[in-house]
Chain A
Amino acid sequence: DIQMTQSPSSLSASVGDRVTITCRASQSITSYLNWYQQKPGTAPKLLIYGASSLQSGVPSRFSGSGSGTDFTLTISGLQPEDFATYYCQQSFSIPRTFGQGTNVEVK
């Protein structure tokens, strides 16, 4: 199975900050990497697919980059509604696996 490791596990930030979350795969997954946002008590929401493609309806302050084993999710100008947990997920192979999550909290 491909292991996905996110860092940091949590971070504190303020509205307006630029936030970067990294995700590393245990082997190359080319660009088969997705990012999800999850708020407490709700289902995950797809933000980015294929490492860098923005899902329809997702604000442009979210962006993704990377290929191979190293990926980043960047939020440019954190908004109050962005405080949540973020997960990366590989779709290169079965079983699909997720990172452990990064909790973005209010500083």
Chain B
Amino acid sequence: QVQLVQSGAEVKKPGASMKVSCKASGYSFTGYYLHWVRQAPGQGLEWMGWINPNSGATNYAQKFQGRVTMTRDTSISTAYMELRSLKSDDTAVYYCARGLAVSGAAMFDWWGQGTLVTVSS
């Protein structure tokens, strides 16, 4: 059974950094891209970027360029998303999601449970 288990909720002050982990199990960690998607309270879904766990290559949404870093540790099948210079509007639930492609169609087929990050002074 595929599982993505994320780290727990965090409270951060403006200007600080956050780092969320996503531990994968039940499948080959290096065989699938991992994406990060966030959701501000009461709002929709916003894609942040992906990491290829095999190569470590990344692709970030322009909005987050320079402020986000996605990494992985293949020895423990875990991906990380670090966001720096936090602002109050970074308060959101952050999800990791596995990327799957079927006959050319790409999708997010499994999701972590989400990690609430609250940015408040």
Q: B88-116, CB under 8 A of A: which get 1 and which 0?
A: 00000001010000111111110111100
Chain B interface category by residue count: 20 to 34
Helix, strand, loop or mixed for chain A's interface? Answer: loop
A63 at the interface (CB under 8 A from B): no
Counting CB contacts under 8 A, is B1 at the interface? no
- Inter-chain contact count A-B, CB under 8 Å? 61
Q: Which residue from B35, B47, B103 sits with its C-beta under 8 Å from A50?
A: B103
* Interface pair B59/A50, CB less than 8 Å apart: no
A94 pairs with B59, CB closer than 8 A: yes
- For chain A, the count of residues having a C-beta within 8 Å of the partner chain is 24
Residues of A at under 8 Å CB distance from B?
31-32, 34, 36, 42-46, 49-50, 53, 55, 87, 89, 91, 94-101
Known: A50-B107, A98-B46, A100-B44. 4 other contacts (CB 8 A): A34-B105, A44-B95, A44-B111, A97-B47
